Chain A
Amino acid sequence: MPTTTIRVTGGLLALAAVVAVGGCANRGGTSEDAADYPSKDITLVVPYQAGGASDLAARTLASQMEDTLGQSIIVENRTGGAGSVGLQHLAGRPADGYTIGYLPVETVMLGFQGYEVDPASYDLIGQMVSVPATVAVPTDSPYETLDDLVKAAEENPGSITVSNSGAGSIWEAATDDLGESTGTEFQPVPFDGGAPAVTAAIGGQVDAVIAGISETSPAQADGRLRVLAIFDDQPSESLPDVQTAAEQGVDVVIGGWGGIGAPQGLPEEVKASLEEAFAAAAGSEEFTTIITDSGNIPVNVPAAEYAEFVESETDRFEQLLSDGS
């Protein structure tokens, strides 16, 4: 069957070509005239795998930004090294606006964890998503409020086990932050990902879990977990009956976030067009609907305000992470 051979081989080679092109496209970045920006495809580097929450936020935003910019935005997932590989790659690209990237909260954490990642290597365009931390316990847990949990930890510091998504993760940092702010100590138990951490709490293997709101709110709705507090400055629609930690007297606001940045040193005009496209995309109904449906909180923070926020976050993690180790 020679025709079959050709067809099958052809199909496989076409697939190879697609994968190769998808992987290799857009290495560009010569000195294009900033005035006609953008005159070709833009690459958006996501430092995490396709299919995750960061990837969803980045892809949804990218498809909206295409409308304003009039060019295709190609999402490139450069994974590895807890996100540092993609972030370092982004920092090393030419600052011409043809390579932009998704900046997660890890951008301000990795530098204090032995990776060469520095938030100062990026020009910030805007923040589009916020993932407040939440603390939740199994439904049969004796702890009914955040205060119950803190009191139990005070009585016997280090005896309350709290699962999180991994060593050095934002949720482990949140656990340390909760301990420090309440003057006691929780025992963080790092798992290999957010889902196993939540499972451990549902199965009662740990006393509590600290995870993002999108991971705990569905479990609360189903009656598998009881969320005790949300570490944000305002309550969330997806957890209507849950108070913020501040409302319960514990002043902790912490969580994951995601924004868009570019290699430092963008030409003014380019930065302005990116900011404009960003604001339109992050404010679009399609973007806010998809992010809300996925359980996280869409925001639309402009560049200047985002830069201030990143600076304060950097200070916070410098203190939190150097204390921890």
Chain B
Amino acid sequence: MSPLIEGFGALLDPTVALCIAAGAVLGMLVGAFPGVTATMAVALASGFTLSLDPIPGLAVLLTIYVAANFGDRVPAILINTPGTPASIATTFDGYAMAKQGRAGLALTASAFASAWGTLVGIALLMVAAIPLSQLALNFGPAEMFALVVFGLTMMIGVSGGKITKGLMAGVLGLLLGAVGRDPITGVARFTFGVPELSEGIPFIAAIIGLFGIAEVLDQILTHRRSGVTPITQFGKWLPTRKDWRTMLKPLAVGSGVGGVVGVVPATGGDIAGILGWDQARRASKTPEEFGKGSLEGITAADTSSNATLGGSVTTTLALGIPGDSVMAVMIGSMVVWGIQPGPSLFANQPDLVYSIAGIMLIATVLTLGISLLRMRGVVKLLDLPRHFLWAVILVFCMVGTYAISNNIFDVGIMLAFGLVGLFLRRFGIPAGPVVLGLILGKLAEGNLRRSLEIGGVSNILTSPLAMTILTISVLALVVPPLRESWKRRRARTRATQPDTADRDTLTP
């Protein structure tokens, strides 16, 4: 019997169906709960699933993983609070759409985009796991550094047109990223003797503060004076034919970006979402709408962040290297079940690989179904009177943040970043670049220092992959302003020399 049939056949067991259903509900709930990440949910669930057989156990864990990456979109769109870091980029356009009375369309488009991204990732896993995983091995410190530098060029994109303020915010993020023990020498920096800061500023607490708490504080302060209209208008739910056409390009761009980022070890949906969003903005005909409620923006962000799932599973299974933090936890469980991820898994147990792909496939379809059916109910939450809603959001954010490390310190960080976010907002400074600096600053420093330890500057200069990515980064910075000025010059030429301009329009 072919491993494909055998692997999918193993899922016909009703226990597996039950496990997938339980995982889907649990995953969507934890995803929607700010602070409770997919990693935490999978880690806690793995304590219970160890007593199950491998396939039902994996069904619970993988489904939580998939479903959390749908559920986290809901608070991102409705209350500007990423449910998990993977939905940071969802807030850029999702919340803007909700404020325009298009929350319904934002939620369904996000669900479809997330499902599409996940499916592309699973397809990659089934078709090209081994060759893709070899790509992952090429990513050493030098290549990672180059990739992170490319990521830093996105600061301009997430600044929403306010380049100076955006770069200031980016520098703030980079500075905050410098807090913590030095990645190479272990010397404490800006920790003020606080042990909690030695691993850096708690990231999840910081993003919940910057996005969610800042939004609530802002609404509390402004609502008497201007009376912000609550998001009770959801508008239409399903995308029209025209919407679908608009979504095609970002779906493609997002799948590509997410697939690649997913394969690179130790990078996940948070970076992929922002990267996919920014690439789609560059490719878009209407880049100026990104960040202001663009359907393309939310589609690209969610496709990209979910396309990483298949990539992460691929690296995990094919190399035995965790593709992201959730898979790191899952490897622990697999090993206890006697499944040793690595190249030999594909040779010895190909049916298991198909079972895993099958579980993720079913989980995606089921979660998409739940999302589309349940969303109208979920959003009714927002019909609560404003002051109750604020209280509920604050309590949820505090409880979720406390659960990260069972330490009140994280809650304090969250509230402090809420104030920082409020301050930024009042002065028209975008919060996106702060987050980007916070994520990427550390990665950039650690990987640069590591590659210098390994082979000095030549370690970077002699890597073709790193140099290519660095060149692309430079081009990404230099080309748009050049093209802009070229366009302006051509417009001027056209005004004076109509003949040339006519000819120009004929060339495609």
Contacts and interface: CB of A to CB of B under 8 A. Distances in A.
Contact of A81 (B33, B139, B195, B383): B195
Interface of B: 29-30, 32-33, 36, 39-40, 42-44, 46-47, 50, 136-142, 181-186, 188, 195-199, 202, 265-266, 319-322, 328-329, 332, 335-336, 338, 340, 342-344, 374, 376-378, 380-381, 383, 395-396, 399-400, 402-407, 409, 446, 450, 453-455
B198 A189 contact: no
Given A9-B381, A294-B335, A218 B340 contact: yes
Given A51-B43, A189-B450, A219-B320, A82 B198 contact: yes
A189 to B, nearest CB: 5
Interface string A45-60: 0000111110110010
A293 B141 CA distance: 31
Nearest 4 Cβ contacts at the A-B interface = A51-B43, A4-B377, A81-B195, A51-B329
Contacts of A79: 404-407
Nearest to B376: A1
Contact of A20 (B342, B380, B399, B450): B399
Given A15-B33, A50-B329, A293-B335, 16 more contacts: A2-B380, A4-B374, A4-B380, A12-B29, A23-B403, A56-B336, A80-B409, A82-B195, A84-B198, A85-B409, A88-B195, A167-B183, A190-B450, A191-B446, A203-B139, A205-B454
Contacts of A221: 340, 342, 344
A199 interface: yes
Contact of A8 (B342, B377, B395): B377
Nearest to A53: B332
A51 B195 contact: no
Contact of B380 (A5, A15, A196, A222): A5
A120 B59 CA distance: 45
25 contacts: A8-B378, A12-B33, A50-B43, A80-B409, A81-B198, A82-B195, A88-B195, A116-B195, A167-B185, A168-B186, A189-B141, A192-B266, A192-B446, A199-B137, A200-B141, A202-B137, A205-B454, A206-B454, A218-B342, A219-B320, A222-B320, A222-B342, A224-B343, A293-B336, A294-B332
Contacts of A53: 332
Interface string A1-37: 1101101110110011001101100000000000000
Contacts of B399: 16, 19-20, 23
Given A19-B399, A80-B405, A167 B182 contact: yes
A152 interface: no
Contacts of B265: 195-196, 199
Interface in A268-309: 290, 293-295
A23 B381 CA distance: 25
Contacts, number: 191
A226 interface: no
Summarize B's interface: helix, strand, loop or mixed: helix
A198 interface: yes
Nearest to A14: B29
B404 to A, nearest CB: 8
Given A80-B405, A85-B407, A224-B343, A293 B338 contact: yes
Interface string A148-191: 00000000000001000011100000000000000000010111
A232 interface: no
Given A50-B44, A53-B332, A1 B199 contact: no
B446 A19 contact: no
Interface in A206-265: 206, 214, 218-219, 221-224
Contacts of B139: 203
A55 B403 contact: no
A187 B449 CA distance: 13
B344 A222 contact: yes
B47 A59 contact: yes
B407 A80 contact: yes
B453 A218 contact: no
Contact of B137 (A84, A113, A168, A203): A203
Contact of B199 (A16, A51, A82, A198): A82
A55 B32 contact: no
A12 B29 CA distance: 7
A76 interface: yes
Given A190-B450, A199-B319, A203-B139, A78 B405 contact: yes
A50 B381 contact: no
A51 B46 contact: yes
B321 A222 contact: no
A80 B454 contact: no
Contact of B453 (A59, A80, A161): A161
A268 B259 CA distance: 59
A168 B180 CA distance: 13
A19 B400 contact: yes
A323 to B, nearest CB: 14
B253 to A, nearest CB: 28
Given A196-B266, A222-B320, A81 B335 contact: no
Contact of A51 (B39, B140, B450): B39
Nearest to B320: A218
A70 to B, nearest CB: 21
A193 B31 CA distance: 25
A111 B186 CA distance: 14
A77 interface: yes
B445 to A, nearest CB: 11
Contacts of B39: 51
A115 B194 CA distance: 9
B407 A218 contact: no
A193 B328 CA distance: 10
A142 interface: no
Nearest to A190: B184
A205 B141 contact: yes
A22 B43 CA distance: 14
Of the listed residues A198, A199, A224, the one surrounded by the most CB atoms of chain B closer than 10 A to its CB is: A199
Contact of B196 (A52, A76, A85, A192): A85
B239 to A, nearest CB: 22
A203 B338 contact: no
Nearest to A81: B195
Contacts of B36: 19
A115 B191 CA distance: 12
A81 B199 contact: yes
Contacts of B50: 290
Given A53-B332, A189-B453, A16 B33 contact: yes
Contacts of B335: 214, 218, 293-295
